[in-house]
Structures are given as structure tokens and as C-alpha cells.
Amino acid sequence: MKPTDLHYEFYVLATPEQVWDTLVSPDGVKAIYGGCVIESTFREGDPIRYIGPGADGDKTIHVYGVILQCEQAKTLSFTHFVGDSYHPGQERYESRITYRLEPAGASTKLTLTHDRWHENDLSYDNSAKAWWMILSSTKTLIETGRPLAF
């Protein structure tokens, strides 16, 4: 059976530009993703990689893909594959991650959809658990200046 789409909506007391900056800036990404950084030009068709401390050392590739859509402070969408250290010897299946930012009064509605899952994708269960933590920490970081401590 094919996994269901993962869909989350959060409201953050910040502008879309502030939320965007946290999602793509080195400091924001490091705080949210345990020391990882994003390597990308953020141009459609170009690669994106989340790299940082992990099973393969300081340059572990956690997630990689290709930018599908990028409109600053509005939309970031990319294909999603997990790095080699997560499921060695297993086929890696493509899914898609899309962040959408919309003004909501003095706040921003942050919507994340992780979809297009393959039924055999071993990363689904971990993603379903991790997104709540990642997005809660993102909201906390933006609003308080400190991420959650897990």
C-alpha cells in the first residue's frame, strides 16, 4: 500500500522573509537540522544537499535532490532522496518536499507537504516522525531565537 502524503501547517509569529531565511540560511539550517547546511544555488533544476555531522562523519549527506521550484519567501520544492548512510544497499526512492509560506496577519502560515512516496520507501516512517519535531523546532527558533532541544 502506498504511504499517505505528509502534510503540516504551522503559524509562526514572523514575516515570510524571516521564516524563509531560517529555512535556507546556514545558521537557521544548522540550528534546525543538527549542524547540517544546505548546499544549493536555489535555482530550478540545480541540486540541493543537506550535509552535516552523521554516520559518515562531518560531511554526511543526509538528504539530496533537485530544486523543482524556488520563489523566495514563498515556495521551495525539491525532490527528496536519503543519503547512503541511511539505508545502505537499498534502493533510494524519490519523494518530494514542498515548503509554502503565506502571510497571515502579523504571522506566516508555514505549510510543508512531503508527498509522491513510493510504497517501498524505507525513509517514510522516520520522516513521518521527524517532521513534527523539525517544524516545531523551526517555529520555536524563529519566535524565541533558540531551537528545541531533542
Strand-pairing partners, residue 47, are 66
The answer, yes or no, to whether residue 87 has pLDDT greater than 90, is no
Give the integer Cα–Cα distance in Å for 147 and 141. Answer: 4
List of E strands, the chain:
6-12, 37-40, 47-54, 57-71, 75-82, 95-104, 107-115
* Placement of cell 500500500 in the chain: 1
pLDDT recorded at residue 136: 97
* Placement of cell 545502505 in the chain: 88
The answer, yes or no, to whether residue 2 has pLDDT greater than 80, is no
Give first-to-last CA distance, the chain, whole Å. 32
Neighbouring C-beta atoms of residue 1, cutoff 10 Å: 4
Give the integer Cα–Cα distance in Å for 29 and 11. Answer: 19
* 2 against 31, higher pLDDT: 31
CB of 115 closer than 8 Å to CB of 96:
yes
Domains and CATH numbers, the chain: 6-35+70-144 (3.30.530.20)
Q: Mapping DSSP to helix (H, G, I), strand (E, B) and coil, where does residue 4 land?
A: coil
The C-alpha cell that represents 36 in the structure block = 547540517
Q: Mapping DSSP to helix (H, G, I), strand (E, B) and coil, where does residue 23 land?
A: helix
- 128, with CB counted inside 10 A (0-12, 13-18, 19+), is middle
The answer, yes or no, to whether residue 41 has pLDDT greater than 90, is yes
pLDDT in tens, 67-80: 999 999 999 999 99
Q: What is the pTM of this model?
A: 0.95
pLDDT in tens, 92-146: 899 999 999 999 999 999 999 999 999 999 999 999 999 999 999 999 999 999 9
